[in-house]
Structure 1
């Protein structure tokens, strides 16, 4: 138990204040005295270990003083010093949180001393618990900061890993496109058209990011499929056509292990679906296709129509738009086509020599 505890006593009787103060000092305590409740509130602070209050004081009695002390949340044990021993007083004091009673005049110094020491011990436990909670909160805050820093590092690592993965896939896709004169630059153009259309439709930045990646890798399935047949003149055989139709599902399977591209996985798989359900690989209808998929279907088809192919001439912008409108509601979403037709006439594409590995910087959502 701490030595030289600090005690605050309040009594409107000067003789009582003096007598009780001398007894407390005799037992080794420091004492400060007030003549009423207002004096207590002026003197009290967290340095006191015990407060002794007379009940019957003018202006502000002991009960009113304790109610005011409770609002300060100092958690200092309060003992009532009273000559009146009614049950009503006891119940009221207990309801206010009084620790104990001291009778006056003080007849038994030993009992008086025991009650004071017990109150001091309670105060010690209160302070000890307060220090423990403060230390615990401090420890929790430190651990929270450490966890926040670890999460930040993990996020940085995750972002770096995502960027490295995207760049690697872009390089592989670029290598594939360079082998085919007719499809060179297709990925860049489709990505440009998709972002142009997404912005025209006022998509939020998060949606534009998903759309950009889906467009960037929509044909990645061609990496593992021998599509040399598309370079031959004339129509494809049934076997060749079946092979080509596999690239959306193959591409989706390539993307599937990448958890950060979950939505892109679905868009890539379905970029050859149709509004009427006659597309592939799953035969989905327009209601089952998200807005980003509908965008990619339109822009991919537009670029295919306006790009040179070995088996047909490329269409002009006007001819391709007319074709999009002619196939609205069957192959294409009409609203998406309308947005595209209004936007494409004012659109200036990037230079064709841009490398697909630069797509992350070219199509930054912040631009």
Structure 2
């Protein structure tokens, strides 16, 4: 966008205003298209425009009605209101409707006018860059899935079923994450196994066990697009680093959002760091808002985190971790889930040192 002229749409019922503003914008090197009212905006609007300038008082569809319709179209084009009526009520209403800025008429200070237009164009540029980034990320995921298909012919069977094909796509993303952080690979495998064992102990339905396994397998997939190199450094993490780490549940939920059949898994992925008392993140949900599968993943994920080695703290043994789970029952963790997990993990003797790494680098549970 920096190498091309910005395209600006002006809507004003006064031909003199349209003509004057158009000439000023063209003088600053922009391309301009004009209409006489809000209905005209609806007829010509498309994603090619960079900025929209609206008069507030227009016959028929006024500026406020026009921006309301634009919001529904989700083009994310900055809207500036051009008006001579600068009342506070107008300003508040415009801001609530998502207006980017105001331009007063008549235009007296061309420098200020130019700055406001350029800022609106810059905002549009960032919106488009973000859109292109997301599209590039999706394209990268598709390419990894195609490479995975070529390397393993057995995965071709998944193409016969939409859900299986999508799980294959998610698996490729998981592989990319494991290449990024070796710790995450071991953590994901252990948490998935813990969840499966606990799910069976709690007599979950087969369908729920499948959802829990998928959610466990991809609960940290948000780390794929977040730079978490800080967890490899020695010493404690800074507040800024913790803020970055806390973004991964919402990022992971956004990654699986297009996968409609994984709606339940998306909920679990987003909320696996919530707390029973509502002090967790990212949404501060309380225990009665969390389903059983999320409560299970919260417990097993926290247990593995406590018993795993980290550069910024010493890991706990099984007894210490279970004591911590019990002490936080009713506040951070669901009490009944902790109780069943404690009995289950002791019965199976599942602690991090029992997991073994075979020749292919996969983590396996000990045989009973």
Normalising by the residue count of structure 1, what TM-score does the alignment of the two structures yield? 0.52
Report 1 or 2 for greater relative contact order, CA contacts < 8 Å, sequence distance ≥ 6. 1
Residue 226 and residue 355 in structure 1: after superposition, are their counterparts in 2 closer, same or farther (change >3 A)?
farther
Indicate how the Cα distance of structure 1 residues 175 and 284 shifts in structure 2: closer, same or farther if over 3 A, else same: same
**Equivalent position of 2:167 in the other structure:** 166
Aligned counterpart, 2:153 = none
State how far apart, in whole Å, the 1-side matches of 2:169 and 2:358 are: 19
User: What CA distance in whole angstroms lies between the structure 2 residues aligned with 1:286 and 1:230?
Assistant: 29
Quickly say closer, same or farther: Cα 1:238–1:222, change in 2 above 3 A.
same
- Are the aligned partners of 1:171 and 1:357 in contact in 2 as well (CA < 8 Å)? no
Deviations 1:2-28 (A, max 9, x none): xxxxxxxxxxxxxxxxxxxxxxxxxxx
Shift in Å, 1:266: 0.4
Distance 1:194 1:326 in 2: 21
- The answer to whether residue 199 in structure 2 is matched with residue 194 in structure 1 is no
In 2, Cα distance between equivalents of 1:157 and 1:313: 42
Deviations 1:274-320 (A, max 9, x none): 00100000000001000000000000000001111111222111111
Q: Give the Å deviation of 1:233.
A: 1.7
Q: Distance in 2 between matches of 1:189 and 1:354?
A: 17
After superposition, give the CA deviation of every residue in 1:164-208 in whole Å (9 maximum; x if it has no partner).
322332233233234334333111100000011110000110110
Using the alignment, how far apart are the partners of 1:174 and 1:314 within structure 2? 26
Q: Cα–Cα, structure 1 residues 158 and 164, in superposed 2: closer, same or farther, change >3 Å?
A: closer
1:317 aligns with 2:318: yes
Q: Distance in 2 between matches of 1:205 and 1:311?
A: 38
Q: 2:357 aligns with which of 338, 342, 352?
A: 352
Deviations 1:30-76 (A, max 9, x none): xxxxxxxxxxxxxxxxxxxxxxxxxxxxxxxxxxxxxxxxxxxxxxx
Native 8 Å contact 2:274 2:284 kept in 1: yes
**1:267 touches 1:293 (CA, 8 Å); kept in 2?**
yes
Give the root-mean-square deviation of aligned CA atoms.
Answer: 2.5
Give distance in 2, aligned partners of 1:171 and 1:164. Answer: 11
How many Å apart are 1:351 and its aligned residue? 4.2
The yes-or-no answer on 1:249 pairing with 2:250 is yes
- Which residue number corresponds to residue 289 of structure 1? 290
Distance 2:229 2:291 in 1: 32
Q: The residue matched to 1:338 in structure 2 has which SS?
A: helix
Equivalence for 2:236: 235
Q: Residue 182 of structure 1 contacts residue 310 of structure 1 at CA under 8 Å; is this kept in 2?
A: no
SS in 1 for 2:275: coil
CA contact (8 A) 1:195 1:211 kept: yes
2:334 aligned residue: 333
- Paired residue secondary structure (2:237): coil
Q: Which residue of structure 1 aligns with residue 178 of structure 2?
A: 177
Separation of aligned partners in 1, 2:285 and 2:299? 16
Residue 244 of structure 1: how far off its partner (Å): 0.9
Unaligned runs of 5+ in 1: 1-155, 363-367
How many pairs does the alignment contain?
Answer: 205
Aligned-residue offset at 1:158: 7.3
Q: 1:291 to 1:356 in 2, by over 3 A?
A: farther
How far apart, in 2, do the equivalents of 1:356 and 1:272 lie?
28
TM-score by length of 2: 0.52
**Distance across 1 between alignment mates of 2:312 and 2:238:** 14
How much does 1:357 deviate? Answer: 9.6
For residues 81-120 of structure 1, what are the structure 2 equivalents within 5 Å?
none
